[in-house]
Amino acid sequence: MFGLTFLAIAVHLLLMKQRPAQKIVEVALIYLLAIAVGLGAVIAGLMHLFNGPATAALIGWPAGSPFQYEVGIADLALGTIACLCLFIRGSFRLAAILANSFFLLGAFAGHIRSLMASGNLAAYNIGPNIIISDLIVPLVLIGLYALGRRLGTQEA
């Protein structure tokens, strides 16, 4: 998802005639929301719902837990909200950023707890993809939104 996100940002920026800082921030924010967070969460949700045992194994957790269904539904909901940011602006984007950031940062804390409690080093518990998606992306989204507000591109 990150490669696709950065490719979309790069192509969009290359096609722009002018690249003021405000527009660059807005383009980066919307593609991070729609692709990295939105599409990524929808795919993760489908994996939890329809391939639960294999997904649990990738995380290093036991299969058959009800968490699979609940996390899958939450991922689908949050991913849908993030994708809708393509069409809905203003405070909706802030709500999407905050909801996803709380969920992802909380998930990251859960992965750290799992690592500390049981030494779980599974790639989908504490691998680079989890560090990027659950820690770095939410912080970047919050930072981009704040920068956009400061530059005058973000509404309320």
pTM above 0.85, yes or no: yes
Question: Does some domain include residue 156?
Answer: no
Residue 35 in any domain: the answer is yes
> Tens of pLDDT along 107-116?
999 999 999 9
pLDDT digits (tens, 9 = 90+) for 92-147: 999 999 999 999 999 999 999 999 999 999 989 999 989 999 999 999 999 999 99
- Report if residue 133 sits inside a domain: yes
Residue 92: inside a domain: yes
Q: What is the pLDDT of residue 116?
A: 95
- Distance, CA of 23 to CA of 76 (rounded, Å): 29
Number of domains in the chain: 1
Q: Cα separation of 5 and 37, whole Å?
A: 10
Domain span at residue 123 reads: 2-13+23-151
The rounded distance, in Å, linking the Cα atoms of 105 and 139 is: 9
Does the residue 18 lie in any domain?
no
Q: Among positive and negative, which fits the CA dihedral 131, 43, 3, 33?
A: negative
